Amino acid sequence: MVEAIFWGAILRIVQASLQAAPFILTGLIITGVLHRMLGQSHTRMVFGSNSLSSLLQSWVLGMLLPGCSLGVIPIVKQLRRSAISVGTIFAFALSSPLFDPLSMLYGLTLSKPETILAFAFCSLIVVTVSGSLFDYWFPNSEVVVPEPMPTPPGLRRLLATLVVMARESVSDSMLLIGCGLACVGLLSTVLPPGVLMHSMSHENVYSPLLMTVIAIPAYATPMTAMGQLGSMFQHGNSIGAAFILLIFGAGMNCGLLVWMLRHYGFKQCAIWMGLMLAVVVTLSYGIERPLYPADIEPADHTHAFDIYCQPFASVPPEGYVADIWRRVRLDTQLHEIVGAVLVGCLIIGGLGLKWLDRRWVIETWLNKPAAVSLKPRSKWDMNVPGPVLAGVAFLAILCGSIVGCFAYYPTPDETIAELGIAKTEALAGALTGDRRHALHWIPICEGWTRRLQVGMYLRRWELSEYHRMKARVFLNRLELLEHLLEDEAPVDEIRHHVAQTAAAFARLSAAFTKE
């Protein structure tokens, strides 16, 4: 039992690390751009400080830039060095992990669009109310840090940005990120397998409070949180609990809390968390009934929260290490691998700079004033101001997110092809009695079905109720098949339901590709 808990915690930490890797890389890039290109004064201009408008600016920037609660840690450190007020920093730290273009589009197809838009508006209320009250009580929270020596324009300035990223990757930012990941593993040790399946009912008045306890130490990327919200909407779970999952599960982690405690002390952090809890919990109970979907029949349980629980109910046939490798290999996506590799390269570079510091500090050369040349400048040799480059970099990140939307959500024809492969694997496993194989591929089928809906919505800016219904029927068939496999139902019953699931897929395919 102890061995299962230990290896389960390792699996959860590895899974969370890989999911966070692309967002950590983005956070390091934004930190380098703020530090070396935008500078402290222009950063204060962009984000504002200690005003209601600055809270709105931070919320908008957080909504536009891709991020997660772990990847935002190096950014908030840079904001503090730029003399930004605590309320504004916390506003960005909370809003950045909640939504991005990918997750927002995904969320708009999960339920009625007004539900997700209401969640976004409520997050703005959380940021403005808690942030303005905090800045009112602590009006002079800015920390003045000397402006670093500017780097001359050109290749040296670009290299200096990369140096900032490398140094940040081996700074206390990684310790704080590690703290957040460790809490993910610790959370799994106290939650037995499947313990949360029946806990988030709409009728259970304590669902939002229970979700608050679970969500703060948990970690979820915006896409993961949106997927869980979709499952909660589909199963008729508590809307208030879904909102808290988004705010605290995606927007907060223990590493961020440790950073707050370290720099602002227990009193300010306790007041901030008290404000957050009061506003978020109040809103969660306020939106419970108005936003609850009346056309959904509540289910008796859901698997949406299994990723926070202990993954091993029994010893895997091939052993824990082999099963962890199998799960990681099958679940990890390409962008997560690329993000992990690039973050690893930055860490190696940061360690190399630390070793080089004993003999020669590279910043001494980077910040050395450029020699004045008597030759006339070429028309191509322009001195582009750092803030302009920073604006281009932020625009490139935003454009990359938009392009990523079309890549992550392909055309219906492409998605149906991928979904057909996943469906074949799942149904073949169910027919041959390979329960583990089928139970692995069923969630993949559900994911591709969601991406199918988003892909159509992204290209037509609408998703008819007819198409929603076809997708809902197929998802319901998949879920019932999953339950039959978990309960080890009779073979004849499983075969009958496999045929019904295949027929539901055929109708789904025809609806999205022909109708």
pLDDT tens, 113-148? 677 778 888 888 888 888 788 878 877 767 777 777
Asked whether residue 91 falls in the same domain as residue 167, the answer is: yes
At position 208, the amino acid (one-letter code) is P
Helix or strand or coil: residue 58?
helix
Q: Which of 350, 371, 390 is the last residue of a domain?
A: 350
Q: Which of 330, 350, 370 is the last residue of a domain?
A: 350
502 has pLDDT over 80: yes
Asked whether residue 312 falls in the same domain as residue 181, the answer is: yes
How many Å apart are CA 181 and CA 202, to the nearest integer? 30
**Spatial contact of 71 and 23, defined as CB atoms under 8 Å apart:** yes
At position 489, the amino acid (one-letter code) is A
Q: Which of 184, 211, 208 is nearest to 16 (CA)?
A: 184
- Evaluate whether residue 360 is within a structural domain: no
Sequence-separated contacts (24+) of 327-330 with Cβ below 8 Å: 327/11, 327/15, 328/11, 328/14, 328/15, 328/18, 330/440
231, 234, 238, 244 alpha-carbon torsion, rounded to 10°? 40
Asked whether residue 97 falls in the same domain as residue 225, the answer is: yes
How many Å apart are CA 355 and CA 373, to the nearest integer? 34
Half-sphere exposure for 238 (CA within 13 Å, toward CB): 27
Asked whether residue 430 falls in the same domain as residue 345, the answer is: no
Segment 390-396 shows an average pLDDT of 78
How many Å apart are CA 470 and CA 463, to the nearest integer? 11
Q: Which of 242, 208, 203 is nearest to 110 (CA)?
A: 242
What lies within 8 Å, CB to CB, of 45 at 6+ separation is none
Helix or strand or coil: residue 237?
strand
- Evaluate whether residue 367 is within a structural domain: no
429 has pLDDT over 70: yes
- Evaluate whether residue 89 is within a structural domain: yes
Residue 294 has a pLDDT of: 67
Joined tokens for residue 393 = 């970099």
Asked whether residue 299 falls in the same domain as residue 419, the answer is: no
Residue environment code for 442-460, b if the CB has 16+ CB neighbours within 10 A, otherwise e: bbbbbbbbbbbbbbbbbee
Asked whether residue 132 falls in the same domain as residue 211, the answer is: yes
Q: Which of 320, 440, 216, 379 is nearest to 8 (CA)?
A: 320
- Evaluate whether residue 380 is within a structural domain: no
Question: What pLDDT band is residue 378 in, cutting at 50, 70 and 90?
Answer: low
Residue 371 has a pLDDT of: 57
Condensed to tens digits (0 to 9), the pLDDT of residues 166-195 reads 999 998 889 999 999 999 989 888 888 777
- Evaluate whether residue 366 is within a structural domain: no
Sequence-separated contacts (24+) of 369-376 with Cβ below 8 Å: 369/152, 370/152, 370/153, 370/154, 370/156
- Evaluate whether residue 283 is within a structural domain: yes
Condensed to tens digits (0 to 9), the pLDDT of residues 251-303 reads 888 888 888 888 888 888 888 888 888 888 898 888 888 877 666 666 656 66
How many Å apart are CA 420 and CA 448, to the nearest integer? 9
Beta bridge partners of 201: 237
How many Å apart are CA 515 and CA 506, to the nearest integer? 13
Helix or strand or coil: residue 317?
coil
- What does pTM read for this prediction? 0.83
What DSSP line would sit under 245-305, residue for residue?
IIIIIIT--HHHHHHHHHHHHHHHHHHHHHHHHHHHHHHHHHHTTTTS-TTPPPPS--STT
Asked whether residue 330 falls in the same domain as residue 443, the answer is: no
Asked whether residue 341 falls in the same domain as residue 417, the answer is: no
**Spatial contact of 23 and 222, defined as CB atoms under 8 Å apart:** no
Helix or strand or coil: residue 484?
helix
Residue 483's CATH number: 1.20.120
Segment 207-230 shows an average pLDDT of 82
Asked whether residue 281 falls in the same domain as residue 425, the answer is: no
Asked whether residue 152 falls in the same domain as residue 287, the answer is: yes
- Evaluate whether residue 67 is within a structural domain: yes
504 has pLDDT over 80: yes
- Evaluate whether residue 417 is within a structural domain: yes
39, 45, 47, 49 alpha-carbon torsion, rounded to 10°? 110
Taken in order 118, 121, 126, 127, the sign of the CA dihedral is positive
pLDDT-above-90 percentage for the chain: 8
| Residue for token pair 């605290």 | 248
**Structural Rg of the chain based on CA atoms:** 24
Distance (Å) of CA 248 to CA 95, 296, 322, 425: 11, 25, 33, 35
Number of other CB atoms surrounding residue 203 within 10 Å: 8
Question: What pLDDT band is residue 373 in, cutting at 50, 70 and 90?
Answer: very low
Condensed to tens digits (0 to 9), the pLDDT of residues 459-500 reads 777 778 888 888 888 888 888 888 888 778 888 888 888 899
Question: What pLDDT band is residue 390 in, cutting at 50, 70 and 90?
Answer: confident
How many Å apart are CA 494 and CA 488, to the nearest integer? 9
User: Domain limits at 253?
Assistant: 2-350
Least confident piece of the model among 294-298, 316-320, 340-344: 294-298
Joined tokens for residue 49 = 């400080």
Taken in order 59, 64, 66, 71, the sign of the CA dihedral is negative
105 has pLDDT over 80: no
Asked whether residue 167 falls in the same domain as residue 292, the answer is: yes
Number of domains in the chain: 2
Asked whether residue 345 falls in the same domain as residue 463, the answer is: no
